[in-house]
Amino acid sequence: MHERHSSWSFLWRARYVPGWIRDRVLDGALAPIRCVFAKHERLRRIAAWMRLHRRRLTAVFVLVAHLLGAAASLNVLTEQRTPQGAIAWIVSLNTFPYLAVPLYWTIGETHYETYSTAYRASVSEGDPIIKHLYQSLKTADLIAPASDGTRQVLTRLVKLPVTRGNAAKLLIDGRQTFDAMMVEIDAAESYVLLESYIIRDDWLGRELKNLLVKKAQQGVRVMVLYDEYGSRDLPSSYLSDLTENGVLVHGFNSPLADGSTTRINFRNHRKLLIVDGVSAFVGGLNIGDEYRYGVDELGLYRDTHVIVHGPLVQCSQVAFVEDWHAVTGEMLENLRWTPVAAKATGGEGLCVPTGPADEFDTALMFFMQLVQSSEQRVWIATPYFVPDEQMVTTLKLASLRGVDVRIMIPKHSDSTLAWLSSFSYLSELDAAGVKVYRYEPRFVHQKVILVDDSVAAVGTANFDNRSFRLNFELMLAMFDCDFISDVERMLEDDFLECRRVEGDDLQKRNLGFQLLVRASRLLAPIQ
């Protein structure tokens, strides 16, 4: 006996499921839609007309999509972006506009010039604070001389001085980092400034929230700045719990309030905590259980933070104040701006805030200068390795002149696109002698660079186009021998848990995987 098939059964042809079961499920699922059409004669007529003219409507849709793609391509040519990024967008917009056009409208528009003007106009109101800080540093003799070319370049680039008298301590993973943070926050007497890309309403997030509320109720000024894209899953109840108890909370938003997509494209990726103007925390850890307890499929993240005391605290405070003012219009002058040395000698370091409103590609130039200045080694740890051609060339040149260039990337990643793209660099880097390692035990999320025995930097910037040009980032570069030795030992331990990646690793994969990698590499400039 033949089974009766619903007219909708072609939508679901599951194996080993009898036809009558499929029909019952489909009929039940589609019943509301049929009910709507049955009750609305106009909708039935529209649907019938669309079926009758479906070929013409399809042709019109395709034509309009390609016209919009062409128009968006012209807009790409008027924007300031890399040639590779412009080519990637133009090709995507004209070959597959159905997906590329909505994506471009969402995250593709740069608005660099307008954005930079608006942001710089906002933060320029803080110039008196920076001038006062410079004068205080000079009076206390805490400005280190620019003794080499790298320091000269970097100080001119970030418009902040290399300071001395700093004490920096490496914090490895969430237990060390958040235990130290909670202790500092709990001991706060005047103010707490917290800036994070991601804040989650999980066990760690609620623990932090309760502590911030406690300090606010004790009369401590507590200010929290979070990125609205990174913390898009943060419920309003979490924020209301903070604000109702005296904590000042704001989402980082572009200064442009014209409905543009700039806010989505330019993100505040900084992770910064300042307590009483005495201590500052900077590094890769967001506020989430994956950094402290390891709750998702990637387990406990391998990450690194640093706590500093000394004049670097005031320099880091400048970054928070500028971001806060850009969002709220409020200038935080009533903070501790008088720096105090934490060490009698040494402890030299530089605060490196970077962002899309900078006059130059500060993050990219910072890393390029460090690599170019290397003589013995460059060790890099990054979760997202998607550099542009300039950086790839710089790394290869360093290796060709005999520098030990090592790059540590994760075996497993939370970004499939970045993970795939990383394979495309293996062959050319290996040919130049650059050694790539995949960290196997966990997802490595730390952002660290070690150059010779002269400088080690820890912070928030990844080795990808987004950190180089689109995100607001913050790095702390230390020229302190003790700190450099600590970073060296940490990375040596991490490399022991890595597997060296061969240059022909991609060629050993199947053709489908290779095609995915090549396609991902084409999208590298817009990742």
With tokens 């000394």, the residue in question is: 310
With CA atoms as reference, report the closest residue to 365 among 469, 471, 466.
469
Distance between CA 462 and CA 464 in Å, rounded? Answer: 6
Choose, from 111, 209, 215, 271, the residue flagged as catalytic: 271
Choose, from 305, 388, 445, 486, the residue flagged as catalytic: 445
Q: Is 111 a catalytic residue?
A: no
The token pair at 218 is 């004790």
The token pair at 293 is 């307890």
With tokens 């412009």, the residue in question is: 86
SS3 label, residue 436? strand
The sheet carrying 498-500 orders its strands as: 349-354, 473-478, 455-459, 448-451, 377-381, 404-410, 435-439, 498-500
The token pair at 459 is 């912070």
Listing DSSP states for 255-293 in one string gives S--SS-SHHHHS-B---EEEETTTEEEEES--BSHHHHT
Distance between CA 278 and CA 307 in Å, rounded? Answer: 10
Distance between CA 95 and CA 519 in Å, rounded? Answer: 13
Q: Is 343 a catalytic residue?
A: no
Beta strands in 164-259 (DSSP E): 167-172, 191-196, 221-227, 248-252
Q: Is 269 a catalytic residue?
A: yes
Q: Is 66 a catalytic residue?
A: no
Q: Is 271 a catalytic residue?
A: yes
Q: Is 445 a catalytic residue?
A: yes
Choose, from 209, 215, 269, 309, the residue flagged as catalytic: 269
With tokens 């400039």, the residue in question is: 525
Choose, from 23, 173, 241, 276, the residue flagged as catalytic: 276
Distance between CA 399 and CA 432 in Å, rounded? Answer: 6
The token pair at 88 is 């990637």
With CA atoms as reference, report the closest residue to 219 among 193, 198, 245, 244.
245
Question: Quick one: which H or E segment has residue 435?
Answer: strand 435-439
Choose, from 215, 361, 447, 464, the residue flagged as catalytic: 447
Which residues are part of the catalytic machinery?
269, 271, 276, 445, 447, 452
